Every structure is written in C-alpha cells, then in structure tokens.
Structure 1
Amino acid sequence: MSRKLFGTDGIRGVAGKAPLDEPTVFAFGAALGEWVAHHSTPRVVIGMDTRESGPWLAETLAGGLAHAGANVCFAGLTTTPGVAYLTKTEEFVAGVMISASHNPYQDNGLKAFDHSGFKLPDEEERKMEERIFAILAQGAAPLRQPLTVDPAYDRHYLDFLASTFHASLQGVKIVLDCANGAASYIGPELFRMLGAEVVATGCEPDGRNINKDCGALHVDALCRRVVAEQAQFGAAFDGDADRCMLVSAAGRLIDGDHAMLIAARHMRPASVVATVMSNLGLQRALESDGLKLIRTAVGDRYVIEEMLRSNLTLGGEQSGHVIFRDYATTGDGLLTALRIIEIAVNARRTLEELTEGFVIYPQKLVNVRFKQKRPLEELPSVQAEIQSTEAEFGDAGRVLVRFSGTEPLARVMVEGPTIERVAHRAHSIANAIEAALS
C-alpha cells in the first residue's frame, strides 16, 4: 500500500495546511507516542530549524505525544543530524526534526528517527499513517504543550562533532554560509572552538529568510566571498544542515560528488554509494582509482539502506548529503565539512589537488510542475523522447526522469558530452512531460 502522508523525507508541506495542519500534526504526535509507549522510558526528543512555524508545530506535536503518554524533551534550534545523534546516544526511543530542509520558509516537515538514529523504514511509516488517519477519524481536538529548551542537548552534539576532528585550524580562515537556518549558531561556534578564524554569513535568521538566496542552494556569493576574504575554505549548509557544499580557496565549488571522491581517496572503501543523480565523472574518477560506485534511488535514506546492506562506510548525494557511517547515521553538513577540511589540512593540499582527475560531464536538470501525476510509462511521447536521447548519447551520457518525493514536480536530468546537446535534450523531455501532464 502506498503512503499518502510520508514522502522520501518524512511528512512535508505548507505549514498550517494539510498534512501540516494542527489536527494532522497532533495525530502524528499521538501515533508516534503510541509507538513508543510500550518502552519503560517512552522519551522523545524534538528539534527544529529557524522557520517561524517551528514553535507551534513543536508544541502541537508535543501535545499529541503527551496525549499518548510519551515524555517530551525539547532541543530547540538544532540540526537534523543533531536530532539523529541525540536520539541514538541519549535515552530516547524516538526523535523528530521539524524542518523542510532546503525548501522556503512557508514549508515545513516532520522527520522521525528511532533509537538507532536512522529514519523510520517505509513499512513503519505506512503503519504510522494508518494510526494517524484512525486518530483523525476520532475527531479529537488538538492540544498544544508548552516547551522549554534544554541547551545541554546542543552542547552534547557540538562536543561530539569537535571530538571527531584531528587537525589544527590555527591560522586557517573559513567562510561559513549557514542559510539562516539550523546551523546559524552552532556552525560558527564549532569552527571557532577548533581554532579557525570564521567569517559567518547567513547567520541572522528571522523566521522567513531561511534558504533565501543563501546556503547550499545558492553558493555563488560564497564563492566570491571566499576569494575576497582570502580564506582557505568555504562551507555552505542548507536549512537543516544535513548537507554541505564546500568552496576552495580559489572560489571553486566542491559539491557532494567532489566530497565523496576526496573522502574515498583517503578512506579507500571497497565501494562508494551514491544516487542516480551523481555525475558520471564521479564514477569514472573512482574507477580510475580502482573503486566501485553503487547507485541507488534519490534520497539519502536509500543511500543509507544500501550502505547498511553492503556494510559500506561512505555514501552520499551530489546535493551535499554525505554519510560517514563510522560517525553518523544520516547526512551531516557540519561533519562533512570537518572530514573534508581535516583531510585537506593534514595532507597540505588544496581541494583542487584532492579532486584531480574528476572531469565533470555536463549535466542539465529541469523541473516540471504538474497538476495530475501519471506513471511515466503511460506517457508514450515522453518515453519516445527519453529513448531518443539515450540512443544519441549511448555510453557517453545518462538520462534520468523521476517524480519528486516532496513536491509536485517531475525532475528531468540529462548528462552528456556537451552542455548544448544536454540542455536541448533535457528541455525536449521536459516539454513532452508538460504537454502530457498539463
């Protein structure tokens, strides 16, 4: 049975509207509370990013949890990987992060973790949906529970991150763009603790400026700032800080693919796990180093599932989610920055030198908003465009067409020998989808 509320990254939508209206959020809390109630200490930790809807969502969620008998602890402003870490290392049966990651401030979301620190499996989410709908059918009035932030939780996470770093940052200048999001305070504090000179940007959240022209999705300004400041590194995080984009001293973008290559060359794992969105250039570079790339569906949860299945320690996404399984159960932007900067500082090499031999294949991504979703297999005109593109590029390119798990978008990605051919083919496929689904 397909899930109606949960997408690839929890429940996400416009705050205040279904499925993030008060009754549904309360019902989610009650369903999760029932799920943890059989434990002797049914404790749940809640964290949130900087969106203006975060506080009332947290209180409504806590109301549902308390209604079902769960004990709620509030970490306040923290990162998604921070909640995952706390859930695993403290006496919590579950944790919930309130965030819509890289989406604009109007959106928000609920991501649940169990005590292992991993996101709930698809089957558990399906069962939880059944309980949510059953609770909604009962018509109980949602209640809010006031919450008080315990600052010790963020300190535990900060101390953990610092403990993983084994290099000297004395004399190292780093520019951080924290997207006016979850890393706005903990990010600069972490790197200053480690001895770096930090230039902090995107660290003035007002509830509405999260991800707005800043952070991991908007790195042009950071690239320029790193050069202007004569800094050795730059790092940009998204709203919940589970992804990181790095910038070299020369102002060059180092995305998730580059970070995985740097880490793989240092760690020498048997294989690296990445999604179908990772550039063909990463695959070629890894192969030249005698390493194998395993691809999964889009979503860090699927990367992690494959890492666990194959007992691998490194995986991630081009978008900046990188999972270092020896340290964390999810993508962690701050941890990624620490790992890559540590490698570079200890090797006394630039990020360009560490990614030598990585030739990026031109890639074009086009998003198509649709009104009514239909299986791609049922759209002959779209299939014809896809097959024609695959025939033209052969082994020198790739085509990926998929529906977003969090938004009403069809995503078209085409990779090939030249940007002109790639862009032309991507738009041809996108136009066919738009015509078929309009």
Structure 2
Amino acid sequence: MAHSHEKELFGTDGIRGVAGEPPLDSDTVFAVGFCLGQSLPPKASARCVILGEDTRESSRWIAETVAAGLQEAGIEVVSAGVITTPGLAFLTASAGCAAGVMISASHNLYRDNGIKVFASTGFKLPDEDERAITREIYRVLGSAAGPRPSRFPLQPDPAWVRRYVEFLRRAAGSSWSLPSGRLIVDCANGSASGIARDVFAGYGLEVQTVADQPNGRNINWHCGSLHLESLQQAVLLAKASLGVALDGDADRALLVAGNGQIVNGDGILWAASRSMRGRGTLTGGAVVGTVMSNLGLELALEREGLKLLRTPVGDKYVLEEMRRSGVNLGGEPSGHIIFRDLATTGDGLLTALQMLRLLAEHHGSLEQLVDGLEVFPQTILNVRVRERPPLESLPRVQEQIAAGQKRLGASGRVLVRYSGTEPLARVMVEAASAAEVERVAAAIAHSLEESLGSG
C-alpha cells in the first residue's frame, strides 16, 4: 500500500537521501519527474519546468533523470545549471514556468542529495500536493507497464543565473554603500561559489570568497553555515567588517561580526524587525519563527510590542504562517530568513545583502545591530535512530522529558522531534542556566539512545 509510505518520500524540505539509493535511485527519480509532469494542468500556458542543481557530483545525473521523466509526460524542460535554491524559486515564478525542480541536499555532505519542487508561484508545494504526487509515484513504481528510467542530456543556459543575480542587485537597491572594509563570504563549495563576488561587488567593501572551489565532493565539507570556526578565524585575522556563511544551496546565511561574534537567524530577525518597524515596513505586528527560535528572541520582541509566532521546523511552514498572518518577516535560527516582500523562500544571498544595507543605514557594526537580544543558553543534541515510532509511545523518553521540563520550570523549554531530512532525533533544551540545559538534554538524549539508538 503506497499510502503508508507517503511521508517517507517528502520530508520537511523535499525528497532527500543517499544519491543512487532509494528514494534517489534512478527508478524513483524518473518517476518523480514523470508524475510531477502528469500533475501539471494540461492547459497551462507554459507547460515548461525549469531545473537547477547544486555542485554535488550526483546532481547532474539526478537532474537529467528528472528531466527525462518530465519529457515522458510531455513537459518541456529548461536548465539553469548550477544555481541556488532561492534562485531557482525566483526563476520559476518570474519566468512563468509551470514548476521548478531543484536538485540539492542543502547543508548535507556530497553523498546525499535531494529533490525540491516549486509550484509556478515560486512557493514550495503544499503537503497535500506532495502526498498526491507520492501516491502516483508509488503507483508507477508498482506497475510493470510503467515507463523505464532514462536520462535527458541538459544544456544549461547561463542567462538564467545572470537574471537571478540582477534580481538580487535590484532587491538590495543602489542608494547605499559601506565605508571601506572587507567582507568574507564562505560559499560552502556550493551553488553560490560562482556568483558571490558579482552579488556583493560595488557596495564599498573588498569582497573575499572562501570555500568557492567546488569539486563535486567538497560541498559543505568543513565549511559553510554548519562549520563557522574557519570563517570566524578568517574574519578576525583579516580584521574584516563582516563574514557571511552560506550552505550548499545558499538558502540560508549565518553572519560573523568583526569581533568574531556569531549572529544566527534569531539575531538577523531581531535586527531586521527593529529596522523594518522603524521604517514602517514591518507588517502583521509580528515575526514568524519556529519551535527552535530562542526564548530570548521572543522576550526581546515582546519588549518592542511584537509577537513571535512559532511554527514547526522548516521554512516552508514559516512561510505558510507568514501568508496566513499577513507577516512579511520570518525565519529560523539556522539562517533561513524570508523577506516576504522580496522572495518566496529563504535566500542566504538576499539576507546578507539586506543586512549589509542595514549596516550602511545605521552607520554601525553588526554587534550594535543585535544589541538588546539576550540569548538564552540552548543546546541541540542529535541522536541517530534506526526507526521513528511516535515519541509519545516511548515511556522512558516521555518520563525524561517531563522531568526535564519540571526541573527547568516556566523559564525553560524542552523540544524533542525527529529530523525531517536525516535519521536523527533532535533534543533541544533552553533555559537561563547553561548547566541545567546540558544536564537535562543529556538525560533525554540518553533515554532516546536506549530506546531507539542505531549503535
């Protein structure tokens, strides 16, 4: 029965797995393209799907297999080649394509890959559409008469990437510049490697890019937004004004201030919300975050008379709440920041440009922009799991969660959830006391390892 497999295919950020293994084997990948093509309206004005990919060695064959499936369904395919995920989303909507497909596993290492699907609007597909396509995929895979997988050779057109870079420059505006200084951009050996210099040139800063030599296997390898140590060192050594860390598909950005201080998505939301509110451009009287957003952000926004609306993890869910509540700023601590007036998804390059613009407008440093945000001690422990039963069905785990919450009291938070993209259970604990945070998190993680650990 296909129905029982539905959520196994699409996670919180599309389909993800090890390239070449289910669900990213040739049969399934071809079926994704074929079933997506069949799901598109037959009378759509543009029966055309645009494809993009990151720098993994597997991205091209996956893109060509999706393309072959789409063509089997009668859909025209165009390729932007290597591009960021938000760039692909922008092009899907602005070029009037019926859909967009991005081949990337975002911040994961090169062996993993993924398929992210965007509707003609540039928004990620709603869960119900993903479920409908999933049912069709399993039906095709279960049919002996279904089409056999093949590949369609793609010829990327560089004009697509130029169009995206021009959009970023327009969105940033041209009426500002920064005093001389240095900007260091860590491209994670990913999708932004070839365009970062062009994006940031001309705003008064000397631009230096690092981790900008992708070889198919070094994407996110000890670089990018999950590995900030080397960027911190580079910023301090060069006495740079700012460091920007992207991930493999550049849909997120984290920042390093000139003094080495790391500013994550919560800090970016705090700085941006105050600036936008001051200009009268913040809508909805709120900012949208997730269950992982730090309690310090919620309290800081409260002092400013703003609410923090929380959603499940995933920028897709952040965006859904933003649209529902009429809010135009939202994001995640991981650095997925959505400026709703400018984009349909998190965009690391756009976020960095907006923060540079804030620095120019306020004539200050990044440290000053995030002043007033008191971050509560928080830890996140990852436990590798062999299966994912409902957490409520694990008495020992529930016992430790309840004990931890009681110990921390009203000023603490405990959140345990499964990752939507990896075989992990994540334990997040935050409170005023760092020692208590570590103690509670360790106890819950130990109970998970005993119950579900994969060894």
TM bracket (short chain)? over 0.9
Structure 2 gap segments, 5+ residues each: none
Residue 165 of structure 1: which of 165, 172, 192 is its match?
A: 172
> What letter is aligned with 1:232?
S
Residue 277 of structure 1: which of 280, 292, 297 is its match?
A: 292
**Cα offset, 1:194, TM superposition:** 4.1
Residue 371 of structure 1: which of 367, 386, 389 is its match?
A: 386
Query: Matches of 1:109 and 1:401 in 2, distance apart?
Result: 25
Instruction: Determine helix, strand or coil for the equivalent of 1:3.
Output: helix
The aligned counterpart of 1:416 is 431
**Cα offset, 1:130, TM superposition:** 1.1
Query: Matches of 1:231 and 1:357 in 2, distance apart?
Result: 23
The aligned counterpart of 1:295 is 310
Instruction: Determine helix, strand or coil for the equivalent of 1:364.
Output: strand
**Cα offset, 1:138, TM superposition:** 2.9
Instruction: Determine helix, strand or coil for the equivalent of 2:155.
Output: coil
> What letter is aligned with 2:163?
H
Matched, 1:121 2:126: yes
Matched, 1:97 2:102: yes
**Cα offset, 1:40, TM superposition:** 3.5
Matched, 1:109 2:114: yes
The aligned counterpart of 1:325 is 340
The aligned counterpart of 2:55 is 50
2:14–2:117: 8 Å Cα contact kept in structure 1?
yes
Query: Matches of 1:170 and 1:94 in 2, distance apart?
Result: 42
- Give a deviation string over 1:51-98, Cα, whole Å, max 9, x none: 000110111110000010000000000000000000010020100000
Residue 23 of structure 1: which of 7, 22, 27 is its match?
A: 27
**Cα offset, 1:25, TM superposition:** 0.4
Provide the identity percentage.
Answer: 51
The aligned counterpart of 2:88 is 83
The aligned counterpart of 2:224 is 215
Q: What aligned pairs does 1:131-280 form with structure 2 within 5 A after superposition?
A: 131-139=136-144, 140-166=147-173, 167-169=176-178, 171-268=180-277, 269=282, 270-280=285-295
Query: Matches of 1:195 and 1:347 in 2, distance apart?
Result: 15
Which 10-residue stretch deviates more, 28-37 or 206-215? 28-37
CA RMSD in angstroms comes to 1.1
Query: Matches of 1:158 and 1:40 in 2, distance apart?
Result: 26
> What letter is aligned with 1:152?
A
1:45–1:87: 8 Å Cα contact kept in structure 2?
yes
Query: Matches of 1:185 and 1:228 in 2, distance apart?
Result: 24
Instruction: Determine helix, strand or coil for the equivalent of 1:138.
Output: coil
Instruction: Determine helix, strand or coil for the equivalent of 1:164.
Output: helix
| Count of residues in Structure 1 that have an aligned counterpart in Structure 2 | 438
TM-score (norm 1): 0.98
**Cα offset, 1:123, TM superposition:** 0.3
The aligned counterpart of 2:67 is 62
The aligned counterpart of 2:365 is 350
**Cα offset, 1:193, TM superposition:** 4.6
- Give a deviation string over 1:349-397, Cα, whole Å, max 9, x none: 1111111111111111111111122111111111111111111111221
TM-score (norm 2): 0.94
Query: Matches of 2:181 and 2:160 in 1, distance apart?
Result: 28
The aligned counterpart of 1:401 is 416
> What letter is aligned with 1:118?
F
Which 10-residue stretch deviates more, 98-107 or 127-136? 127-136
2:311–2:318: 8 Å Cα contact kept in structure 1?
yes
The aligned counterpart of 1:314 is 329
- Give a deviation string over 1:102-160, Cα, whole Å, max 9, x none: 00100000000011110000000000011111222234321110110101110110000
Question: Post-superposition, which runs of at least 4 consecutive aligned residues in structure 1 deviate over 4 A?
Answer: none
Instruction: Determine helix, strand or coil for the equivalent of 1:56.
Output: helix
Query: Matches of 2:190 and 2:295 in 1, distance apart?
Result: 31
- Give a deviation string over 1:30-49, Cα, whole Å, max 9, x none: 01111225123210000000
1:81–1:241: 8 Å Cα contact kept in structure 2?
yes
**Cα offset, 1:230, TM superposition:** 1.6
Instruction: Determine helix, strand or coil for the equivalent of 2:46.
Output: coil
1:47–1:83: 8 Å Cα contact kept in structure 2?
yes
2:182–2:240: 8 Å Cα contact kept in structure 1?
yes
1:256–1:321: 8 Å Cα contact kept in structure 2?
yes
2:185–2:207: 8 Å Cα contact kept in structure 1?
yes
1:168–1:194: 8 Å Cα contact kept in structure 2?
yes
The aligned counterpart of 1:431 is 446
Instruction: Determine helix, strand or coil for the equivalent of 2:201.
Output: helix
1:37–1:68: 8 Å Cα contact kept in structure 2?
no
